[in-house]
Amino acid sequence: MSKHAVIWIDHKEARVFDVHPDTFDGSAVQSPTHHVHRHPKGGEGGKEHPDDAKHFFHEVARALEAAEEVLIVGPSTAKLELIRYAHEHERALERKIVGVETVDHPSDGQLVAYARKYFRASDRMR
């Protein structure tokens, strides 16, 4: 049986869950822009460092290395930015992505239940 993972991602954090039939293991990856204080440069007051997003997505990719199939969910554009990052920098992760869904802010239990239902339907289709 393949190993399934679901990731809920926004621009602040990524919650990663390895989903097993009866259990799940979870971890979180925090975005650097939300825990590293950066002084704005110039008159516009930009707060993000250019490498913050790349570093965040790199850490997310590391958290998904052991998965064989990945479902990406979240409320914002971060899920699409992760896919774009995977296409450009993490081809192995890109091949594992089996679905992308818009999901608001579920609890961990709701997210895992959603992933199990998704993967059951996906497995039946094969």
Helix (H) and strand (E) counts for the chain? 4, 5
Q: Residue 57 in contact with residue 81, Cβ under 8 Å?
A: yes
Q: What does the pLDDT look like over 38-91, one tens digit per residue?
A: 555 555 444 556 678 899 999 999 999 999 999 999 998 999 999 999 999 999
CATH annotation of 4-125: 3.30.420.60
φ, ψ of residue 117 in degrees (nearest 5)? -65, -45
Q: What is the pLDDT of residue 52?
A: 85
State the DSSP string of 15-66.
EEEEE-SS-EEEEEEE-GGGTS----BTTTTB---TTHHHHHHHHHHHHTTT
- Mean pLDDT over each residue of the chain, to the nearest integer: 86
Total count of residues recorded for the chain: 126
Q: What is the pLDDT of residue 32?
A: 83
What is the SS3 assignment for 123?
A: helix
Is the pLDDT at 34 greater than 50? The verdict is: no
pTM: 0.82
- Give which of 87, 54, 89 is closest to 100, Cα–Cα: 87
Q: What is the pLDDT of residue 36?
A: 47
Give the DSSP H/E element, type plus range, for residue 107: none
What gap in Å lies between CA 17 and CA 28, rounded to an integer? Answer: 9
Domain borders along the chain are: 4-125
